[in-house]
Amino acid sequence: MAAIGNLSLAITAPSPPFRLAVPSRRTLNLRCWLFSRKHENVGDPPSSRIESEARDKNVVDESVFSSEKELDVNSSDVWKLFNDAQRNILYLNNQRLKAVDELDAIRREKHLLIKKLEQLEAEKKADVVKDPGTLWELFLRIDTMVLSGMINSEEATHLRKVIVNYQISIHDAFYEIQHKKDIELLSELHHFSEKITRKGMHIVHICCEMEPIASVGSLATYVTGLSCALQRKGYLVEVILPKYTIADNGALQEFRKTEFEFDSYFGGCWHKNRVWTGVLYGIGVTLVEPLNNATFFNRNNIYGYPDDFERFTYFSRASMDYLVKTGKQPDVLHIHNWETAIIGPLFWDIFVHQCLEQPEKLALCGLNPSQLHRPDRMQDNDKPDLINVLKGGIVYSNKVVLMPSFLSKDKIFHSLSHGLEPTLAIHKEKMLIAPYGYDNAVWDPSLDKFLPAKYSADNIEGKATCKDELRHHLGFQRPSSAVVGCIYSGSSDFDLLSLKLAIMHCLRRSCQCVLLGPKLPALDAILQAFQDESMDEDVKFIADYDESLLHLVLAGTDIMLCCTFHDPVLQIPLKAVKYGSAPILMDSGIDELRKSEWHEVGYGSRDDRPSGLHELASASFSQYILSTYANMTLSQALDEILNEPSKWSRRIREGMSRDFSWDAECCDIHCAAYTSIKNL
């Protein structure tokens, strides 16, 4: 805290100085003498009186003249004195007011300084939790110490617990010495002792994708979004990935190759692996690089090869061996999809019991097929001669999180189980349904750096500015009843006839439409042909995936056409709700006449319409969006915009006020699952 010193004020004397005019002694004596002479001559004879008066008259005239002259001089001096005094008073008053203003300014500055210090202190504490990059650098340095043989796995486990339990204090103590050599850093860690300030669980994700390092589909977004949300809640999160040659490692901070190797078991023998480490968004990232099987991840794509099972089984086993070698004891191992589902049986059948001393009994990655090829373990339900890896992940996991949140457990079991319905039914109590989310640091109209005006549910006026800017950008000339958008990805599953009929319906209602998506030659040609056919200036197709325009389209549209509400890749329905654009299913905007035309050309009604599914869905976002928009057609939405604007405004504001980001329901469901696992 800074202290403010004493305040000294210097008041300058006015110029010229005060002047006071005082009558002279001679003038006072003369006035007294005249007064006495007037009374003495009352009794004299006339002649002498006249003579005396005549004599005195000269004296009086002279004295009166002199007195009047003196009085004139004195009057001038008094007025000058009055004016000088008045100026002095005004000057002193101005000086006093300036001094008071300066004192108030100093007090305000002091108050602001105190507030700023308090804010910086709060931000410092918050940043330690929200951005634990420094902690992860220390954490990964410990891994290097283990691999180099400087410390054993037991000592490493103890040091990691120190980091987890003393996060804030560790950050303060080692912020300036994190670049010291390992031996010096180890000495500091051994002598560290601080009051515990925050506890959290250590979560390790073992997966094949993470945005932006290696991103193919929704898994990459999910892993990154959930991990960041968990870190913001105080968890220590680590992600283990294969080291792909096509990976984008430029986003990793402190990205480095360790000089030490570890062995993993595969195909009946042990293989060398190298570890690369880095930090992404405050998350510790470990990349496993096979040395003996270098071609496993040195390819042009992540998936789609005949030996995918061997590749990802190798990675799964190597990840577990790495955890054992480094002595890590995370609270939760979070595995994803079939690629790493083999970790379930690996963990329970090998690593929990540490049976690595019997490699002759292990198959490709160290498991015993005869023990696992059973109906209650990994035997496939439909093809009993095969092993179902995903089934093994379900059987051997403590919790199973299902992400298609628009369906209930029963609906998933009956329609999306891929032959695992009996297995899911047996392990039904393990199942949790979670929604996808979005990054609220990027997708928030009140903070969005790409928008010409920011807005929120409480102050939505800025959306009109965004709408005007979008119309200007697209070159729309005339006013419109509404602006309708459609944002699609390369994996979007919609038929062009449904899109065409929806756009035609919008044009008949005096709407303007914009479609935005990546360059897809086949789709672009069809869309361009439709635009040429319609010859309508109120339809714009933009075959470019510009990020700033993507934000502007969300903010500047009234309605967002969606082929489905379950959009794990772009998450357009989620973002549309946040930006005040109503998500409407694409095939719901076709009037009865067009529906007949639709059936006549051979298209039946879409069987994935979620009408009534809101009674089954469990996630709050699913319940909200299905109950609010699932049964609303495009025509109904336009009617409400035109005829019931107050009702429409309430609908939009209500959706914008909700939090459907990764930090909300999705993170809460996972945290509850992790806690229940830890408490087992």
Residue 150 above 50 pLDDT?
A: yes
H or E element in which residue 278 lies? strand 269-280
What is 622-637 written as a DSSP string? Answer: HHHHHHHHTT--HHHH
- Comparison of pLDDT for 118 and 571, the residue scoring more: 571
Q: For 30-35, what is the mean pLDDT? A: 38
Say what the pLDDT of residue 513 is: 92
Helix, strand or coil, per DSSP, at residue 215: coil
User: What is the average pLDDT value for the chain, to the nearest integer?
Assistant: 75
Beta 269-280 vs 253-266: how paired, if at all?
antiparallel
Residue 391 above 70 pLDDT?
A: yes
Cα–Cα dist 660/36, whole Å = 108
Give 605-609's long-range contacts (Cβ < 8 A, gap of 24+).
Answer: 606/498, 608/564, 609/585
DSSP class of residue 272 equals E
Cα–Cα dist 680/669, whole Å = 17
Most confident of 9-13, 90-94, 605-609: 90-94
For residue 300 the two structure tokens come to: 């042009």
CA-based nearest residue to 445, from 457, 456, 437, 461: 456
Cα–Cα dist 215/302, whole Å = 9
Q: For 489-499, what is the mean pLDDT? A: 72
Cα–Cα dist 284/307, whole Å = 29
Say what the pLDDT of residue 27 is: 40
Cα–Cα dist 148/186, whole Å = 13
**Which tens digits make up the pLDDT trace of 93-119?**
888 888 887 777 767 766 666 666 666
For residue 514 the two structure tokens come to: 């914009």
Residues with Cβ within 8 Å of residue 394, at least 6 apart in sequence: 341, 344, 400, 420, 423, 424, 427, 430
Say what the pLDDT of residue 492 is: 63
Could you give the angle at the alpha carbon of 32 between the alpha carbons of 29 and 35, nearest 5°? 150
Q: Which residues pair with 379 in a beta bridge?
A: 387
Residues with Cβ within 8 Å of residue 493, at least 6 apart in sequence: 563, 564
Q: Tell me the one-letter amino acid at 550.
A: L
Cα–Cα dist 258/140, whole Å = 10
- Residue 541's φ and ψ, nearest 5 degrees, are -110, 125
Beta 431-433 vs 253-266: how paired, if at all?
unpaired
H or E element in which residue 128 lies? helix 46-130
Is the distance from CB of 466 to CB of 451 less than 8 angstroms? yes
Cα–Cα dist 545/492, whole Å = 14
**Which tens digits make up the pLDDT trace of 508-566?**
899 999 998 887 776 666 666 666 666 578 888 888 778 899 999 999 999 999 988 88
Please provide the size of the chain in residues.
680
- Measured in whole angstroms, how far is the alpha carbon of residue 60 from the centre of its chain? 101
Least confident of 78-92, 323-337, 639-653: 78-92
Residue percentage of the chain with pLDDT more than 70: 66
Give 302-305's long-range contacts (Cβ < 8 A, gap of 24+).
Answer: 302/208, 302/209, 302/214, 302/216, 302/244, 302/246, 303/208, 303/216
Residue 243 above 60 pLDDT?
A: yes
Residue 588 above 70 pLDDT?
A: no
Say what the pLDDT of residue 36 is: 41
Is the distance from CB of 501 to CB of 598 less than 8 angstroms? yes
For residue 644 the two structure tokens come to: 């019931």
Residues with Cβ within 8 Å of residue 139, at least 6 apart in sequence: 160, 163, 236, 238, 284
Q: For 85-93, what is the mean pLDDT? A: 81
What is 19-45 written as a DSSP string? Answer: ------HHHHHHHHHHHHHHHHGGGS-
Q: What is the pTM of this model?
A: 0.65
